[in-house]
């Protein structure tokens, strides 16, 4: 394993955000690993991301990665119990909706099962970096099956 190189990328606009979103599709993490640091206006998460690009094995591979969103004003959740820190979520996509005054807006993290986290930001300022070597995934993510089964499998 470990055929794919580690990545380290930043996002400063919607196009960049789409690139990070593509790399994080099917990333899984415990709700408790999503941290909003109000004093520094940052939101961070450590997740197990599925490597979609350059991955040639039958089941694929995963990597531990860190994500940080800066210039955060407010965080809210829908259909996710933030107090259930051991609940596993599977990220589907991240999108940006511009606010009334550019460059402000909302970054929405959409999860399998219909949950979402909305992050109101002054502007898009995000970084993502792989933190570990790759390891074999137990299975390829399958969007046609129950998300909890995929999330549980991916964290092992």
Q: Which long-range contacts (CB under 8 A, 24 or more apart) does 56-60 make?
A: 56/3, 57/1, 57/3, 57/136, 58/140, 59/136, 59/137, 59/138, 59/139, 59/140, 60/136, 60/137, 60/140
Q: What pLDDT is stored for residue 119 in this prediction?
A: 98
Residue 148: what pLDDT?
44
Q: What is the pLDDT along the chain (156 residues), one digit of tens a residue?
A: 445 788 999 999 999 999 999 999 999 999 999 999 999 999 999 999 999 877 666 778 999 999 999 999 999 999 999 899 999 999 999 999 999 998 999 999 999 999 999 999 999 999 999 999 989 888 888 765 444 444 444 444
Q: Which pLDDT score is estimated for 57?
A: 66
């Amino acid at each position: 394993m470990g055929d794919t190189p580690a990545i380290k990328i930043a996002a400063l606009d919607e196009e960049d955000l789409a690139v990070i979103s593509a790399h994080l599709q099917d990333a899984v993490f415990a709700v408790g690993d999503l941290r909003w640091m109000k004093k520094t206006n940052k939101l961070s998460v450590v997740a197990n991301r599925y490597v979609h690009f350059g991955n040639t094995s039958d089941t694929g591979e995963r990597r531990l990665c860190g994500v940080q969103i800066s210039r955060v004003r407010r965080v809210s959740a829908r259909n996710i119990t933030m107090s259930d820190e051991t609940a596993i979520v599977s990220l589907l996509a991240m999108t940006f909706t511009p606010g009334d005054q550019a460059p402000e807006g909302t970054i929405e993290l959409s999860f399998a099962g219909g949950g979402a986290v909305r992050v109101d930001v002054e502007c898009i300022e995000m970084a993502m970096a792989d933190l570990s070597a790759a390891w074999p995934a137990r299975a390829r993510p399958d969007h046609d099956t129950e998300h909890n089964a995929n999330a549980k499998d991916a964290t092992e």
